[in-house]
Structure formats: C-alpha cells, structure tokens
Amino acid sequence: MPIAARAKTPTRLLVLAAAGLTVAVAGCDATSGPVSSEQGEARHVTVQGSGEVQGEPDTLNVNASIESIAPDVTGAMNQTSERQQAVIDALVDAGVDRKDISTSQVSLQPQFAGGGANPQTIVGYRATNSIDIKIRQLDAASQALALIVSSGGDATRINSVNYSLEDDSQLVRDARSRAFEDARDRAEQYAELSGLDLGQVISISEATGQQQPPTPLPTPRGAEMAAVPLEPGEQTVGFTVTVVWELT
C-alpha cells in the first residue's frame, strides 16, 4: 500500500458512551492493519451481551470424615478405618453406587501434652479418614446424611455439603445463545443510531460464570437423628460475550 495514499486518509474516532460499547471509525485498525483509500474507512462496533439460565441440581456432594484419638498409632488408625468402613458399607447397602464414594484424605497426627515441663511429649495420636460422596437420589439425600452420622457415631465429621448439576451442557448452550442474542440486539440498536447497517462478525470472546445454590448445613447430631432439612435451590449458568461487528 502506498504511503502517500495512507497519509491522505483522514483518521476519525467516535466513541459512544455506553456500558460495553465502542464504535470506532478509523483509517487504521489495530487488528486488521492499515486500510487503503480504495478500501474505505474501517468501521466496527464492539458490544457485550449477557445471558443466564437456571437448572435444578441433580447431585448432592458430601465430604465426611471419621476422626479418632487413641494412645497409640495402631489404635487410632484401626478405630478410624473400622468406622469409615461401616459408613461406606451402609451407604452402598442403601443404594449409593460404590464408584460415587472416593477417599479424599487420610491423615495421622501426634497429639502433644499441653503446658507442663515438657509440652512436646506425645500423649496420643489423631487419625482422620475423609470420603467424598455423590448422592444422586436427591429424595433420599436427607436419609443418606442421617445414615452417615448414625454409622460413624460420635467420630463423624460433616465437612461440607453442596449441590451440583452433573450435566450442565444444555444450560451452557442456552446461556451462550442468550448472551449472543443480547449482544446482537445491542449492536443493531447502536448501528441504527449511527445511521449504519450491521455487517459481519469480526470476533467473539466469552466468559462463563456458574453460581452454586446455597449450601445446606446439616443439623447437629443428637441421641435420635432428626431428618436433615435440605433444599437444592437452582444452579445458575451465565455467560458474558464480547462481539465485534462490522458497520457498513
């Protein structure tokens, strides 16, 4: 491209003040390179669109531990292992698939005497065994939690409980479509306001966000385990898409 021809092309920049919008008219575009006088001036509009969809979770994820303290290593580990195995067996017998139960942590730590002349004296050992459980039958989730507690007894620790959607692919597609349509609507409006027509798409970039439903908290253990109130809420999948269109 001749340098003289480029120098004669006037450079203008028009920015419309709006959230997520830039309309540029320039003789030199940063992404496409210089535009010759024969090609005309580069015009484009950049907008952001957003879309969200909700779906009902289908899985309850639980992390539960068994924790025991004993004067010796063997005693602490054996007590913990026996209790955790009882929990696993009870869950499997209740219909939880064994592949949905996985060990997440095993730890053994010495316990030291507090204060005194020699605070570093080991007085016992604390053993912990943690498992992750996927409960797919949500109508039986409350009973499953009660079963974990009753099988593990006072050594049971419920570390976390949260809902999830096993397959959110359709929600993702729907959210992406809504975000793109939102961006197109904005771009068409700004093109009309500028007295131009919307042309081809130059580029697309996206960001996704997923919001977890509120985490249900199990009620404290008692002599008789009451039903644990659980509410799955909704899983929200959201997209923000940035689209650049030509303006003609």
> Could you give phi then psi for residue 56, rounded to 5 degrees?
-85, 125
pLDDT 10s digit of each residue in the chain, 248 long? 443 443 333 433 333 333 344 444 333 333 333 333 344 567 899 999 999 999 989 999 999 999 999 999 999 999 999 999 999 999 999 999 999 999 999 999 999 987 666 667 889 999 999 999 999 999 999 999 999 999 999 999 999 999 998 888 888 899 999 999 999 999 999 999 999 999 999 999 988 665 555 444 444 444 455 667 777 888 888 889 999 999 99
H runs (alpha helix) in 122-244: 141-152, 169-193
pTM tops 0.75: no
Task: Tell me the sheet residues that pair with 109.
Answer: 126
- Structure confidence at residue 223 (pLDDT): 44
Among 245, 238, 247, 246, residue whose Cα is nearest residue 179 = 238
- Structure confidence at residue 229 (pLDDT): 74
Per the CB < 8 A criterion, the answer to whether 235 and 138 are in contact is no
C-alpha distances in Å from residue 73, one per residue of 107, 128, 132, 201 = 11, 12, 24, 66
Per the CB < 8 A criterion, the answer to whether 161 and 133 are in contact is no
- Structure confidence at residue 216 (pLDDT): 47
Q: Which domains does the chain have, with CATH numbers?
A: 3-55+169-213+238-247 (3.30.110), 59-164 (3.30.70.2970)
